[in-house]
Homo-oligomer: A and B are copies of this chain.
């Protein structure tokens, strides 16, 4: 299956100004329409392209007159001078955290963990900027009410909104969880395009209004390529600041190695997920360690490592849906907490963690210009460096090459969204992980 999309160079860049003639187009156009009221950001990706291949059902544009400024919510509308109070005067400066898809189940776990201080500790006050859609706006209010009823001492501001240009104002973290699920009969290429447009828009908004050093964690699938699109639309934010979440895969890989070796998972270290958050991902048992020893010295069953381990990691989400009837929102939220913690606390000596990051300048020979999960270490300052002392064998390299090829194909598929010309989509097979939508 091959699809070609128009690049912005060929698209009518003024399309959104005439969109009242195009009522069949879906809700995200309504955002474009609003943005036409503000000056277009002056970046090389400023022109907004509109996919003609969207097979999303048309949705009536609701609440056109609704106030789009993010609204503070309830008790969070009060202004607090933390430095003036005995209990809070030693606290750090308030940190702004944006969360998209804030009315969804992953966020519902994540927000309550962040507000309880799980990532930033007991002296870091937090402001949430929750991004939803017109359709989910009431649900956002419900989430804000529950946060209010929870009396978290650290949570000092909650605002909710549907316009990323408002919600992302000054944010230091952007946790991009919201994405459209794949509808019936939708190809991965269609999903890449539909979600790609959301992430292009959010990238532009981050570029225009977020903190200049905002850390962006993309969870919505396909997360690697969504992160790439987001980054390419935010040229004023360091490319290094964009992450695609592969931490749940890493956690699951650690768990499976622990299970096989009959040890607790705190004995498993140095686990890398290489590549894409898809079925081509490579959980690396060559560099991983159990009790400080190479995995192969502990788990002698090479057949299991080579033929069953990866599948066990990948099928976890599908098995969970079968058992539990829902997707793994709680453990995904835990893995987002883990991924954030890994950037704000120093990595334990000798260990590392996986994150989908930009490949340009990587020491492994992975193709440049894509977002690829690789082993990272952090000093705890929000930044990271790639780990150099990893080894490769033929088995590992072959698999890394395959996931790299997939990400390069995905990249070609969204060229119209990254400002790199005419998109050409030729994805050979469905590589969505089971249990994810």
Whether the Cβ atoms of B141 and A323 lie closer than 8 Å is yes
Whether the Cβ atoms of B320 and A255 lie closer than 8 Å is no
- Binary interface encoding of chain A residues 108-128 relative to chain B, with 1 for a CB under 8 A from any of its CBs, else 0: 110011001010000000000
- Binary interface encoding of chain A residues 242-282 relative to chain B, with 1 for a CB under 8 A from any of its CBs, else 0: 00000010011011001100111110000000000000000
Whether the Cβ atoms of B324 and A150 lie closer than 8 Å is no
Q: Give the nearest-CB partner of A87 in chain B.
A: B266
Q: Give the nearest-CB partner of A325 in chain B.
A: B139
Whether the Cβ atoms of B255 and A334 lie closer than 8 Å is no
What are 14 A-B pairs with beta-carbon distances under 8 A? Answer: A75-B258, A80-B264, A109-B109, A112-B334, A142-B324, A142-B326, A143-B324, A145-B319, A146-B320, A148-B255, A149-B248, A150-B330, A151-B254, A153-B266
Cβ of A289: which chain B residues have Cβ within 8 Å of it?
none
Q: Could you tell me the distance in whole angstroms from the C-beta of A88 to the nearest C-beta in chain B?
A: 9
**Top 8 nearest A-B pairs by Cβ distance?**
A142-B324, A142-B323, A150-B334, A146-B331, A149-B331, A138-B323, A150-B331, A139-B324
Number of copies: 2
Asked if A206 lies at the interface with its beta carbon under 8 angstroms from chain B, I say: no
Complex CA gap A320/B331 in Å reads: 25
Cβ of A320: which chain B residues have Cβ within 8 Å of it?
142, 145-146
Asked if A74 lies at the interface with its beta carbon under 8 angstroms from chain B, I say: yes
Asked if A156 lies at the interface with its beta carbon under 8 angstroms from chain B, I say: yes
Whether the Cβ atoms of A323 and B264 lie closer than 8 Å is no
Q: Looking at chain A, what size class is its interface with the partner chain? A: 35 or more
Cβ of A266: which chain B residues have Cβ within 8 Å of it?
87, 151, 153
Q: Could you tell me the distance in whole angstroms from the C-beta of A393 to the nearest C-beta in chain B?
A: 27
Interface hits, A313-332 → B, CB 8 Å = 316, 319-320, 322-326, 328, 330-331
**Which secondary structure dominates where chain A touches chain B?**
helix
Whether the Cβ atoms of A255 and B149 lie closer than 8 Å is yes
Complex CA gap A335/B78 in Å reads: 23
Complex CA gap A62/B80 in Å reads: 57
Whether the Cβ atoms of B251 and A150 lie closer than 8 Å is yes
Whether the Cβ atoms of A330 and B75 lie closer than 8 Å is no
Known: A109-B112, A151-B255, A151-B265. 15 other contacts (CB 8 A): A74-B255, A75-B255, A78-B264, A109-B109, A112-B333, A112-B334, A113-B116, A116-B118, A116-B334, A141-B324, A142-B324, A143-B324, A146-B328, A149-B331, A152-B334
Asked if A103 lies at the interface with its beta carbon under 8 angstroms from chain B, I say: yes
Whether the Cβ atoms of B265 and A75 lie closer than 8 Å is yes
Cβ of A75: which chain B residues have Cβ within 8 Å of it?
255, 258-259, 264-265
Q: Could you tell me the distance in whole angstroms from the C-beta of A290 to the nearest C-beta in chain B?
A: 13
Cβ of A80: which chain B residues have Cβ within 8 Å of it?
264
Whether the Cβ atoms of A151 and B251 lie closer than 8 Å is yes
